[in-house]
Structure 1
Amino acid sequence: MPKIFLYGGSFNPPGLHHEAIVQKLASKLGPDDRLIVLPCGPRPDKETTNDLSLASRAALCDLAFGRIPRVEIDLTDLEQSVFTRSFDIDQRYRALYPNHEICHVIGADIVAGGAHGLSEIHRTWFCGQEVWNTLHFLVHMRHGIECVPEDLPPHHTIIEPTLRGSSSEIRERIFRHQSIDDLVSPAIGQYIARHQLFTGRIMRGPAEFQETLRPLVVANDRNESTVAIGKRLSDAFQTPIGEHNCIVVIGGDGFMLHTIRRLWRDHVPFLGLNRGTKGFLLNDFDETKIVDQLQSHLELKTYTESLLYIEAESVDGTQSNMLAFNDAWVDRLSGQTIWTRVLMNGEVKFDPIMSDIMLVSTAAGSTGYAYRMGGSRLIPGTQMLQLVGSCVCSHHWKNEPLPIETSIRFEAMNQEKRPMRGFCDGVALGELNWMNIRRSATATAELAFFPETDLQRRISEL
């Protein structure tokens, strides 16, 4: 029977010892086996999981495990900001994959004392005795942890020790300004340094990218000049596959949007080179000097932009979720205005309101459709959402920025006469009953700019 290996943990942050375990398991997978890493959501019994934003924890897991072949990362707990216990995770995956054996990967410290019913599983896990007796565990031995055979659960397989290390040691070293190069991969170390994680400091303003560029070059293949520039840059840098620390995007805002939606889980800065019309999210550059400029020691400014997390229900009752970088909206499907109930953070604000379009945008998307509909222009990274409407029939309505944590829901009223359809970054979702829009807890993109790029001036010139 094929197996599904579930490796859950806080990974706060993931170290080389975590990566070694995953690499060892991945190397032994059968053709139909699967290996899934599950970073846990906020835990009331483990306050350190709340020290970082959920987005930073998601990024660290993607950087640590995302490039290991055949490894999947389930960000559900982080996206929903919940802590799902192992008993429930097991039930969920058994329902999803009834023809697979579910195996849980845990450390030897979790089972220590099991012979006397004193293991962490017995003492603190939900349905601990049942979990101990029924679940199949892969127990990886840890240096310095004493675990005798009598401590092991009834259904187990042992994984021999790999590397020494602990997340707590990594956090302590960072706080004490000590090197962590021997405990984490370069990608993890660079991300932690760039965002000043675990330092006790709160970042204000853009981050600084001061690394030697190893770019993945992505050029809009519909334009011969962008293809030629892309080839020159690729030939100049020759970055090995999977070792890039930034993504150079050559094209316009639309191509940048497409690239971000496709590659955001690489969690490296997107450095845009403008070959479009406005290029608000990109940098102007001199084609004759760009290779030398990128090969010199650059100090880029990076702004982190959260994507939108959208949930929607079609008229047939089918529910789906997706991400948007710029905006999401509902509009009329017929010649009549739509009647929409609008809720914010679960509270009804308009019931109903008549309009042609209701749109929510990110700061990065505020210079697109939102601006054309009368919204404010925001610099990328601004912690605000935009809610705007077109042809709104209400004396109480006004387009306005909203706090980044606001959740917006559009519900169709009188759907038979006034059908409502939805869009996500311009992608049609069809006729909908409702749409929920909020900031994603896990999906972010870093936009990189040259020091001389003046975003405020670009906004004023729109």
Structure 2
Amino acid sequence: MEFRRLAFVAAEVPQARRALNRLAKIHGQSAPEDADVIVALGGDGLMLQTLHRFMSSGKAIYGMNRGSVGFLMNDYSEKGLRERIRAAELTMVRPLKMSAVDQSGSIHKAMAFNEVSFLRQTHQTASLRISIDGHVRLDELKCDGILLATPVGSTAYNLSAYGPILPINSPLLALTPISPFRPRRWRGAILPHQARVTIESLECEKRPVAVVADHVEVRHIRKVEIAEDRKRSARLLFDPGHSLAERVLAEQFRF
């Protein structure tokens, strides 16, 4: 594919906006609905927003780093952009789908390409019950929270919480506790990608918790159900030798 029509989207920071203006003058600016590829200019936060915005369009997304963190981005350059895009390697990523019930009984749904995290709202630890595919696996977990991460998200918050890094094409999910207090020695689980995870707040009024799916937060949650969405995916493009699979592998050897 020639990728003749490019649509540039940028984060609301000066260096990203300047890059958008320069690249649009050099390469032209197409409307996103008419473009062959979306070029995202910013950091990983902007890339996540772009994935959510265009995941139903089927359009490939090529990111260039104009932000503070650029794990999901390619290096920035104004030269040879179409040639780089034509040579880029394709990675397909699937989101998690979340359905959360709050204390009033309202249902909130959201998608996450990185992780869905369950977090305490106050000074009190959260008290959680964990079920996998309808079977209770942990009767009570006292902790600051817990998260379920995709392979893409395994190098983000999950890694900071000492969760495992998952190879990008692996059919796995990482279930990782955040500052577990009891049981102290439980360090989480690696689950098959088709697993359905249910997390219940056992004392939701006394120990309120929030759930966050990428950039969507809902507070005062009673229960959340999470599963991989097998019907949706996004297409990411990476420069040869700097694929997302290579970056995830290399991250396991960093100190």
Shorter-chain TM-score above 0.5: yes
Higher mean C-alpha deviation, range 313-322 or range 412-421 = 412-421
**Once the 2 structures are TM-superposed, how far is the Cα of residue 266 of structure 1 from its aligned partner?**
1.8
Q: Which has the higher contact order (CA 8 A, sep 6+)?
A: 2
| Mapped pair 1:235 → 2:235 | no
How big is each residue's C-alpha offset from its partner over 1:367-415, in whole Å with a ceiling of 9 and x where there is no partner?
A: 1111000012234443221110122211562223221111111011122
Residue of structure 1 in register with 2:234 after alignment: 445
CA distance in 2, matches of 1:371, 1:274: 21
Q: Give 1:53-452 correspondences, 5 Å limit.
A: 210-223=1-14, 225-241=15-31, 242-285=33-76, 287=77, 290-295=78-83, 298-392=86-180, 393-394=182-183, 397-452=186-241
**Once the 2 structures are TM-superposed, how far is the Cα of residue 240 of structure 1 from its aligned partner?**
3.9
1:266 match: secondary structure: coil
CA distance in 2, matches of 1:305, 1:380: 8
How big is each residue's C-alpha offset from its partner over 1:51-72, in whole Å with a ceiling of 9 and x where there is no partner?
A: xxxxxxxxxxxxxxxxxxxxxx
User: Which amino acid in 2 is paired with 1:336?
Assistant: Q
Query: Does the 8 A contact of 1:247 with 1:268 survive in 2?
Result: yes
Query: Does the 8 A contact of 1:409 with 1:436 survive in 2?
Result: yes
2:20 match: secondary structure: helix
Query: Does the 8 A contact of 1:374 with 1:399 survive in 2?
Result: no
CA distance in 2, matches of 1:348, 1:364: 27
Residue of structure 2 in register with 1:139 after alignment: none
Structure with bigger helix share is: 1
Runs of 4+ in structure 1 off by over 4 angstroms are none
1:343 match: secondary structure: strand
CA distance in 2, matches of 1:319, 1:216: 35
CA distance in 2, matches of 1:255, 1:240: 19
The aligned length equals 249
CA distance in 1, matches of 2:29, 2:17: 17
- From the superposition, tell whether residues 246 and 403 of structure 1 become closer, same or farther in structure 2 (CA, over 3 Å): same
CA distance in 2, matches of 1:421, 1:390: 13
**Once the 2 structures are TM-superposed, how far is the Cα of residue 438 of structure 1 from its aligned partner?**
0.6
How big is each residue's C-alpha offset from its partner over 1:102-161, in whole Å with a ceiling of 9 and x where there is no partner?
A: xxxxxxxxxxxxxxxxxxxxxxxxxxxxxxxxxxxxxxxxxxxxxxxxxxxxxxxxxxxx
User: Which amino acid in 2 is paired with 1:371?
Assistant: L
Structure 2: runs of 5+ lacking an equivalent:
none
CA distance in 1, matches of 2:241, 2:205: 53
| Mapped pair 1:460 → 2:248 | no
User: Which amino acid in 1 is paired with 2:232?
Assistant: A
Structure 1: runs of 5+ lacking an equivalent:
1-209
CA distance in 2, matches of 1:211, 1:459: 35
How big is each residue's C-alpha offset from its partner over 1:11-52, in whole Å with a ceiling of 9 and x where there is no partner?
A: xxxxxxxxxxxxxxxxxxxxxxxxxxxxxxxxxxxxxxxxxx
**Once the 2 structures are TM-superposed, how far is the Cα of residue 254 of structure 1 from its aligned partner?**
1.1
CA distance in 1, matches of 2:85, 2:127: 55
CA distance in 2, matches of 1:313, 1:212: 43
**Once the 2 structures are TM-superposed, how far is the Cα of residue 459 of structure 1 from its aligned partner?**
5.2
CA distance in 2, matches of 1:235, 1:262: 24
Q: Which has the larger radius of gyration?
A: 1
Query: Does the 8 A contact of 1:236 with 1:291 survive in 2?
Result: no
CA distance in 2, matches of 1:426, 1:296: 30
CA distance in 2, matches of 1:353, 1:399: 11
Query: Does the 8 A contact of 2:85 with 2:237 survive in 1?
Result: no
CA distance in 2, matches of 1:213, 1:380: 29
User: Which amino acid in 2 is paired with 1:306?
Assistant: R
User: Which amino acid in 1 is paired with 2:46?
Assistant: F
**Once the 2 structures are TM-superposed, how far is the Cα of residue 281 of structure 1 from its aligned partner?**
0.7
RMSD: 2.1
User: Which amino acid in 1 is paired with 2:110?
Assistant: M
CA distance in 1, matches of 2:132, 2:85: 46
Q: Give 1:33-44 correspondences, 5 Å limit.
A: none
1:291 match: secondary structure: coil
CA distance in 2, matches of 1:416, 1:437: 22
CA distance in 2, matches of 1:239, 1:323: 29
2:13 match: secondary structure: coil
| Aligned sequence identity (%) | 26
- From the superposition, tell whether residues 411 and 216 of structure 1 become closer, same or farther in structure 2 (CA, over 3 Å): same
CA distance in 2, matches of 1:236, 1:434: 50
Structure with bigger strand share is: 2
- From the superposition, tell whether residues 348 and 450 of structure 1 become closer, same or farther in structure 2 (CA, over 3 Å): same
